[in-house]
Amino acid sequence: MLLAIDIGGTKVASARVENGTVVERRQLPMAYDEAGFAGVIAALSAGWPAPARVAVCTTGYIDGGRVRSVNRDIIRFWDGFALADQLRARFDCPLTLINDGQAAAWGEYTARRTPLAPAPPANLLFITLSTGVGGGLVLDDRLRAGPHGLAGHVGHAGVRLAALDGATVCGCGRSGCLEMIASGTALARQARAAFGKPVTSAELFARATTDYLADAILSHAAQAVAEAIGGLHMIVDLQEVVIGGSVGLADGMLERIRCALDCLALRAAPVLSAAQLGGDAGLAGLIALDTAGAQRGDIE
């Protein structure tokens, strides 16, 4: 049995997988302290058989078995957390760790490589617009992680646009990051500054149909996403860009990004599409990577 775990900024999902098929799936809110997190992992695997392998995708990047946060403001205890040690203490089996955006990119890539797809994309960028802005990159049919596990972190690439509330410094320590404009956290922050009271990103989308200011905040975020896509496309020559996450899949966001991307007049512009796997792209990517490893003999 494979135990697949997807750790995000606000939720943790697990799947019990037999022969590449999900037998059962669970989900709980993310905990923001070490003891609470250990309890979440225990609850997500309680009553299941002991796994033969554990595969985990997580926000942040992996450094020698520890998680390193890019944006240190999202999960306070996460930067430097010994995730591998905690999981090995609970599960006595081989363990694989990967960034969640990278796993989701591979899941969406795999979903598009079917016998019915006439020309599946070899070069694909996945962007998740959610609590933060994450991403993953597939180039020449290979998932890119990079020597430090940072490949695909498009949320922390600089864009020329500024946040509408004047905020500049990202939780990663740099200025001008896409995440400061287009994440769910950033949308709520900019909306609060505009309306003078707390407004969630979901409420912002609901208002946008009748409220010019809400519409402007979302359109500005979409333009920033398009700018990031355009810049990366001119570096690596993308074929498809997949948008996921609760913000990315919210009503009208994809069309906003498509409109902004059209205005950039890119050469050989990539196809823009919605995530086919929704919030389970990361789990699907873990399962696909595990299956491929088993077929190659990488997994015993």
Give 65-115 pLDDT, tens digit per residue. 898 888 777 788 888 899 999 999 999 999 999 999 999 999 999 999 877
Closest CA to 104 of 82, 133, 79: 133
pLDDT band for 117, please (50, 70, 90 cuts). Answer: low
- Spell out the domain ranges in the chain: 2-102+279-296, 103-276
Contact yes or no for 94/299 (Cβ under 8 A): yes
Q: 103-276 is classed in which CATH architecture?
A: 2-Layer Sandwich (3.30)
Give 133-178 pLDDT, tens digit per residue. 999 999 999 999 988 888 999 999 889 999 999 998 988 888 999 9
Domain 2-102+279-296 falls in which CATH fold? Nucleotidyltransferase; domain 5 (3.30.420)
Answer yes or no: same fold for 2-102+279-296 and 103-276.
yes
Q: Give the separation between CA 8 and CA 297, rounded to whole angstroms.
A: 30
Bridge partners of residue 242, in order along the sequence: 126, 273
Residue 116: per-residue pLDDT: 73
- For residue 296, pLDDT beyond 60: no
Closest CA to 125 of 245, 284, 233: 233
- For residue 298, pLDDT beyond 80: no
Contact yes or no for 256/218 (Cβ under 8 A): yes
Q: Which secondary structure element, helix H or strand E, spans residue 254, and what is its range?
A: helix 253-262
Environment class of residue 42 by beta-carbon count within 10 Å: exposed (0-12), middle (13-18) or buried (19+)?
exposed
- For residue 57, pLDDT beyond 50: yes
